[in-house]
Chain A
Amino acid sequence: MFACKNCGGNIIYDIKSKKLVCKKCNSSFAPESVTKENDSVDYDYFETTVFTCPQCGAEIMCEDNEASSFCTYCASSTVLTSRISKEKKPDYIIPFEKTKEECIEEFKKITKKAIFAPSELKDPKVLDKFKAIYVPYWFYEVSQEGAFKVSGAEIQRTGSYSNAYYFDVNGDIEGKFEGFCRDASYSFSDDLGERIAPFFPEGKKKFYPSYLSGFYADISDVDSIVYEHEAEELANDVAREVVSNASCKGEYKNMKIYLSNDEATEQFNTAVSAKRALFPIWFMSFKNEKKVAYMTVNGQTGKAASDFPISKRKFFIGVLLLTLIFFPVSFLIVSMFTGRNAFGALDVALLLSCASYIIYYVQMKILQVKDSGAEDAGRFYEKTKVVYIKNKTKNENLINYIKDSIVDFVIGVIYIGVMFWEIPFMLNVSTQGKLFGIDAVSGFLRILLIVGNLVLAVIGFIRAGKLKNSAKYYGVLFGGILTISVLGIELINANSVILSIISCVLLCAGAFLTIFDLVLYHNELTTRKPAHLKRRGGDAIAYDINNLDM
Chain B
Amino acid sequence: MPTILIILICSLILSFFAAFIACYFLAKITSLPGKKSVAEDDEFNLCGIKYNCVAKNVEVKTKSFSSNENQERKEKMDLYYRDISGRKGSAR
Contact = CB atoms under 8 A, between A and B. Distances in A.
- Size bracket of the B interface: 35 or more
Contacts of B8: 331
Contacts of B67: 161-164
A179 B28 contact: no
Interface in A314-353: 314-315, 318-327, 329-331, 333-335, 341-342, 345, 348-349, 352-353
Contact of B31 (A144, A174, A308, A322): A308
A512 B23 CA distance: 11
Contact of B58 (A166, A170, A508): A170
A233 B53 CA distance: 14
B37 A115 contact: no
B53 A341 contact: no
A177 interface: yes
Contact of A200 (B36, B48, B52, B62): B48
Most buried by B among A237, A255, A330, A335: A330
Interface in B1-22: 1, 3, 6-22
Contact of B23 (A163, A309, A322): A322
Interface string A129-162: 0000000000000001000000111010000011
A173 B58 CA distance: 9
Main secondary structure of the interface of A (DSSP, over half): helix
A327 B15 contact: yes
Contacts of A255: 60
Contact of B14 (A234, A235, A319, A334): A334
Contact of A110 (B16, B34, B57, B73): B34
A501 B14 contact: no
Contacts of A320: 19
Interface in B23-42: 23-24, 26-28, 30-37
A151 B26 CA distance: 52
A256 B83 contact: yes
Contacts of B65: 163-166
Contact of A171 (B13, B58, B76, B87): B58
Contacts of A167: 60-63
A331 B7 contact: yes
Interface of A: 110, 113-117, 144, 151-153, 155, 161-181, 192, 194-202, 234-235, 237-239, 241-247, 249, 252, 254-256, 303-310, 314-315, 318-327, 329-331, 333-335, 341-342, 345, 348-349, 352-353, 355-356, 359, 497-498, 501, 504-505, 507-508, 511-512, 515-516, 518-519, 522, 526
Interface of B: 1, 3, 6-24, 26-28, 30-37, 44, 46-67, 69, 73, 76-77, 80-81, 83-84, 87, 89-92
The 4 closest A-B pairs by CB, nearest first: A198-B48, A305-B34, A345-B10, A245-B91
Given A198-B37, A202-B50, 12 more contacts: A110-B34, A168-B61, A170-B57, A181-B48, A241-B44, A246-B58, A256-B83, A308-B33, A322-B20, A356-B21, A359-B21, A501-B10
21 contacts: A114-B31, A114-B33, A162-B67, A163-B65, A164-B65, A169-B60, A171-B57, A172-B57, A192-B34, A194-B36, A198-B47, A237-B44, A238-B44, A242-B92, A245-B90, A254-B87, A319-B19, A319-B23, A322-B18, A327-B11, A348-B14
